[in-house]
Amino acid sequence: MGLGGFGMGEMIFIFLIVLLLFGAKRLPEIGSSLGKGIREFKSSVREIEHELKIPNDRQIHRSSPPPEPVAKATADEGEPRKLSDSVPTTEG
């Protein structure tokens, strides 16, 4: 038994405490939700590792400018609005 490891006695003790706290009917539900949480955590870790392994040419660099906003035409105007049209000016 190494540091931080649980022996059979410790595992039985922990199981009995959990059984007393939650009851026998809730144990399958707790085990199921714990399993789902572990699966989601492993999946997110794999996803992060995959993103870190993507070649640098496919990643977005902070030095690149953000994409230009696309102006949409409104129903009452015949031409597209500009970004400066919607920003209020503070002239004092």
Residue 92 CA to residue 85 CA, distance in Å, equals 18
* pLDDT tens figures, 44-88: 999 999 888 876 555 555 666 666 776 655 555 556 666 665 556
Every domain of the chain and the residues it spans: 24-61
Give pLDDT, residue 80.
61
* pLDDT tens figures, 14-55: 989 988 998 888 888 988 999 999 999 999 999 999 888 876
Take residue 40 and report the two structure tokens written for it: 């989601």
Closest CA to 34 of 26, 24, 23, 46: 26
Give pLDDT, residue 40.
96
Take residue 62 and report the two structure tokens written for it: 């902070």
Burial of 47 (C-beta count, 10 Å sphere; 0-12/13-18/19+): exposed
Beta strands in 1-89 (DSSP E): none
The answer, as to whether pTM is greater than 0.85, is no
CA 30 to chain centre: 22
